[in-house]
């Protein structure tokens, strides 16, 4: 059941079928010859650099790595990776990647998507990829706005947001991507922030090591249409107050001098933030990312104030072992051969009742 160590957990299992690189790799090996065309100052640059910087650590043959994206600013990502890649159509990347990953267990398949791509037009494919637990690593760049179409509200925009398409304020209640993923039976859900290279890299590491679908929500700044959306989580001083760093096996504490902590309200069963005192210190919740029940992970995903982002947890909310779809699909093929022998076409075609006409 639940394991206790997170470091390198599952690495061998998750990537065992992907061939290893022959030579030592560097970040440069993963940069394509294409000019990067995001707006200057876009958070996507930091994420690209972090991914390119992390890839050599995996040590996989880069011809066995594929990045698949949908449509939107973030979905240009594959063009900049010197791996195989497909820039597909709006919202469909998880479906396309599912076909690729389930037919090619020797590939490491990554999906790059945005809040509009993954949660609006492609919401159906996202939840079904998560419940199937296909061996995909989904990087969801969440900037809470539509960038490529020049600034309409997205499914993660806050209620009342004034945009080009909502001059009197958005009426839509937003999705919480982490809550949605947990509800969709995701086996791995994490959140990070574009500007925190170290944390982002650690989340990539854990996602890569996870067997099955890993969803990593990356808060990403769109400096043109939604600038500063996550400043409260980035500014050193405000971040200390606002960010809860989840670490498996550790008490969930944050704030200056770790003065704040997350406890369960005995009356409602819900989680709440309290000031830690010697009396309640023992009640502070110890984070268990591998808990079989998604209850605490879900409750943690609801802690943050959706408008102010105060109390935003980052890190791995949930990481549990579940059967992996593509592995099981391959197993069924093997089992069918074991049971019935390798398919013989002549026998198949001549099956059923036959009769012979002689000359």
Partner 1 sequence: MTSQVSSPAEQADGAVVGEQRKPAGRKDVRRLDRVIIRFAGDSGDGMQLTGDRFTSETAAFGNDLSTLPNFPAEIRAPAGTLPGVSSFQLHFADHDILTPGDAPNVLVAMNPAALKANINDLPRGAEIIVNTDEFTKRAMQKVGYAASPLEDGSLDGYNVHPVPLTTLTVEALKEFELTRKEAERSKNMFALGLLSWMYHRPTEGTETFLRSKFAKKPDIAAANIAAFRAGWNFGETTEDFAVSYEVAPATQAFPVGTYRNISGNLALAYGLVAASRQADLPLFLGSYPITPASDILHELSKHKNFGVRTFQAEDEIAGIGAALGAAFGGSLAVTTTSGPGVALKSETIGLAVSLELPLLIVDIQRGGPSTGLPTKTEQADLLQAMYGRNGEAPVPVIAPRTPADCFEAALEAARIALTYRTPVFLLSDGYMANGSEPWRIPELDELPDLRVQFAQGPNHTLDDGTEVFWPYKRDQQTLARPWAIPGTPGLEHRIGGIEKQDGTGNISYDPANHDLMVRTRQAKVDGIDVPDIEVDDPHGARTLVLGWGSTYGPITAAVRRLRAAGESIAQAHLRHLNPFPGNLGTVLRRYDKVVVPEMNLGQLATLIRAKYLVDARSYNQVNGMPFKAEQLATALKEAIDG
Q: Which is nearer to partner 1, 96 or 262 (CB)?
A: 96
Sign of CA dihedral 213, 324, 66, 51: positive
Sign of CA dihedral 331, 333, 334, 340: positive
Q: Which is nearer to partner 1, 157 or 213 (CB)?
A: 213
Q: Which is nearer to partner 1, 92 or 253 (CB)?
A: 92
- Measured CA angle at 188 (ends 185, 191), to 5 deg: 115
- Please state the closest distance from residue 36 (CB atom) to partner 1, in A: 12
What is the 3-class SS of 124-147, one letter each residue?
A: HHHHHHHHHCCCEEEEEEECCCEC
Q: Which is nearer to partner 1, 286 or 337 (CB)?
A: 337
Q: Which is nearer to partner 1, 32 or 179 (CB)?
A: 32
- Please state the closest distance from residue 324 (CB atom) to partner 1, in A: 15
Dihedrals phi, psi of 103, to nearest 5 degrees: -100, -10
- Please state the closest distance from residue 349 (CB atom) to partner 1, in A: 5
- Please state the closest distance from residue 357 (CB atom) to partner 1, in A: 4
Residue ranges in contact with partner 1 by CB under 8 A: 19, 32, 34, 61-66, 68, 78-79, 81-89, 92, 95-104, 106-107, 124-125, 128, 329, 332-333, 335-337, 339-343, 345-346, 348-359
Q: Which is nearer to partner 1, 91 or 155 (CB)?
A: 91
- Please state the closest distance from residue 340 (CB atom) to partner 1, in A: 5
Q: Note the Cα 206 to chain centre separation in Å.
A: 11
Q: CA–CA separation, 141 vs 186, rounded Å?
A: 17
- Please state the closest distance from residue 61 (CB atom) to partner 1, in A: 7
DSSP 9-69: TTHHHHHTTSPBPSS---GGGGB-SSPP-SPTT-HHHHHHHHHHHHHHHH-B-GGGEEEEE
Residue 248 burial (C-beta neighbours within 10 Å; 0-12, 13-18, 19+): buried
- Please state the closest distance from residue 50 (CB atom) to partner 1, in A: 19
Q: Which is nearer to partner 1, 102 or 170 (CB)?
A: 102
Residues near 279 by beta carbon (within 8 Å), at least 6 away in sequence? none
DSSP 299-310: HHHT-S-TTT-T
């Amino acid at each position: 059941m639940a394991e206790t160590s997170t470091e390198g957990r599952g690495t061998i299992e998750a990537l065992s079928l992907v061939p290893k690189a022959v030579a030592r790799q560097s970040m440069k090996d993963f940069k394509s010859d294409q000019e990067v065309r995001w707006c200057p100052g876009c958070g996507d640059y930091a994420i690209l650099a972090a991914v390119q910087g992390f890839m050599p650590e995996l040590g996989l043959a880069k011809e066995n790595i594929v990045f698949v994206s949908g449509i939107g600013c973030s979905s240009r990502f594959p063009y900049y990776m010197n791996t195989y890649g497909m820039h597909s159509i709006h919202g469909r990347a998880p479906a396309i990647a599912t076909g690729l990953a389930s037919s090619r267990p020797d590939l490491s398949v990554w999906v790059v998507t945005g809040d509009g791509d993954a949660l609006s037009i492609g919401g159906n494919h996202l939840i079904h990829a998560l419940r199937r637990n296909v061996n995909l690593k989904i990087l969801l760049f969440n900037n809470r706005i539509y960038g490529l179409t020049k600034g309409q509200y997205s499914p993660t925009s806050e209620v009342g947001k004034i945009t080009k398409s909502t001059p009197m304020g958005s009426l839509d209640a937003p999705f919480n991507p982490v809550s949605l993923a947990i509800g969709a039976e995701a086996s791995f859900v994490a959140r990070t922030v574009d500007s925190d290279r170290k944390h982002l890299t650690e989340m990539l590491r854990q996602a890569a090591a996870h067997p099955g679908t890993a969803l990593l929500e990356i808060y990403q700044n769109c400096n043109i249409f939604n600038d500063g959306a996550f400043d409260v989580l980035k500014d050193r001083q405000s971040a200390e107050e606002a960010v809860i760093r989840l670490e498996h096996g550790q008490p969930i504490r944050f704030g200056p001098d770790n003065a704040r902590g997350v406890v369960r309200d005995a009356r409602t069963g819900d989680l709440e933030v309290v000031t830690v005192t010697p009396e309640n210190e023992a009640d502070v919740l110890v984070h268990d990312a591998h808990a079989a029940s998604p209850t605490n992970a879900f409750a943690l995903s609801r802690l943050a104030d959706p408008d102010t982002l105060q109390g935003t947890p980052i890190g791995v909310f949930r990481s549990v072992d579940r059967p992996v779809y593509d592995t099981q699909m391959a197993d069924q093929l093997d089992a069918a051969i074991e049971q019935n022998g390798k398919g013989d076409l002549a026998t198949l075609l001549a099956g059923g009742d036959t009769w012979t006409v002689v000359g």
